[in-house]
Amino acid sequence: GDSVTQMEGPVTLSEEAFLTINCTYTATGYPSLFWYVQYPGEGLQLLLKATKADDKGSNKGFEATYRKETTSFHLEKGSVQVSDSAVYFCALRDESSASKIIFGSGTRLSIRP
Amino acid sequence: NAGVTQTPKFRVLKTGQSMTLLCAQDMNHEYMYWYRQDPGMGLRLIHYSVGEGTTAKGEVPDGYNVSRLKKQNFLLGLESAAPSQTSVYFCASSPQGAGSYNSPLHFGNGTRLTVT
């Protein structure tokens, strides 16, 4: 079945450091890919998405490129801020089963001032 | 614009008690979901619904029941709570239609449930 594997956390970085959180997936169809962010005490919210191969999603300085050849959707940011501290989830939604979304296990990110 | 609203926000139950969690969305979405989030486990799908009057089991449905009597509401019931059901519960919704798999889920802020 479909699955999402993302980088184990927690990840701790200093402010202004470069961030990469790895995400790889397996899917039988042609999924859309998503990154969600969860701030303390809140629900998940969409950070960015990409719906087909080579698409790049971007938002709030974060980027991720849909790489079909490596089945990856790594999240990057050039210069992180303390306010980026949160849990990040990679997810896919397969066109063959639009009623279901598969989530990765989440990566907790902490940024030191 | 409320989005997805969950009630209650917190609840403590004793083993064997029952309760219902309510999820309401005002975006006219067809699809609704209940997830639980446990430390180190990510999100696990309990039940979902693809429309009013329909429900289906997810990954971890045992011990839970759901109902979707109105399109905007999705109820999650625990008939006899167990300590293993201590968790944070999230409701989510998304639209249906062509290209719906491109659509993200919209989440509520969660219900933190403790069963003692």
Kindly report the average pLDDT of chain A as a whole number. Answer: 93
Host H or E run for residue A62: strand A62-65
From residue A71, alpha-carbon distances to A6, A14, A103 in Å are: 12, 29, 15
Say which DSSP state B102 is in.
G
Distance CA A13, CA B36 (A): 29
pLDDT tens per residue across span B23-81: 999 999 999 999 999 987 789 999 999 999 999 999 899 999 999 999 999 999 999 99
Are residues A73 and A87 in contact, defined by beta-carbon separation less than 8 angstroms?
no
Q: Is B107 exposed, middle or buried (0-12, 13-18, 19+ CB in 10 A)?
A: buried
Say which DSSP state A42 is in.
S
Looking at residues A60-75, what average pLDDT do you find?
97
Q: Tell me what pLDDT residue B103 has.
A: 85
Q: Which residues contact A13 (CB under 8 A, 6 or more apart)?
A: A19, A80, A109, A110, A111, A112
- Chain B nearest-CA residue for A37: B107
B105 at interface of A, judged by CB pairs closer than 8 A: yes
Q: Tell me what pLDDT residue A41 has.
A: 87
A104 at interface of B, judged by CB pairs closer than 8 A: yes
Are residues A73 and A33 in contact, defined by beta-carbon separation less than 8 angstroms?
yes
Q: Please give the residue that has the higher pLDDT: either A109 or A95.
A: A109
- Chain B residues inside the 8 Å CB shell of A99: 31, 48, 50, 56
Q: Tell me what pLDDT residue B1 has.
A: 65
pLDDT at B100 exceeding the cut of 90:
no
pLDDT tens per residue across span B65-80: 999 999 999 999 999 9
Q: Tell me what pLDDT residue B78 has.
A: 96
User: Alpha carbon A7 to chain centroid distance?
Assistant: 10
Q: A112: which 2 tokens? A: 């030191």
Looking at residues A41-64, what average pLDDT do you find?
95
Q: Among partner residues A42, A99, A103, which is closest to B43 by beta-carbon distance?
A: A103
Half-sphere exposure of A80 (CA within 13 A, CB side): 23
Contact A44 B107 (CB under 8 A): yes
- Chain B residues inside the 8 Å CB shell of A3: none
Q: Please give the residue that has the higher pLDDT: either A64 or A100.
A: A64
Q: Among partner residues A42, A101, A105, which is closest to B41 by beta-carbon distance?
A: A105
Say which DSSP state B73 is in.
E
Are residues A79 and A61 in contact, defined by beta-carbon separation less than 8 angstroms?
yes
From residue B77, alpha-carbon distances to B7, B68, B86, B106 in Å are: 12, 12, 14, 21
Q: Is A28 exposed, middle or buried (0-12, 13-18, 19+ CB in 10 A)?
A: exposed
Q: Which residues contact A69 (CB under 8 A, 6 or more apart)?
A: none
pLDDT band, residue A17 (cuts 50/70/90): very high
- Chain A nearest-CA residue for B104: A46
Distance CA A36, CA A52 (A): 18
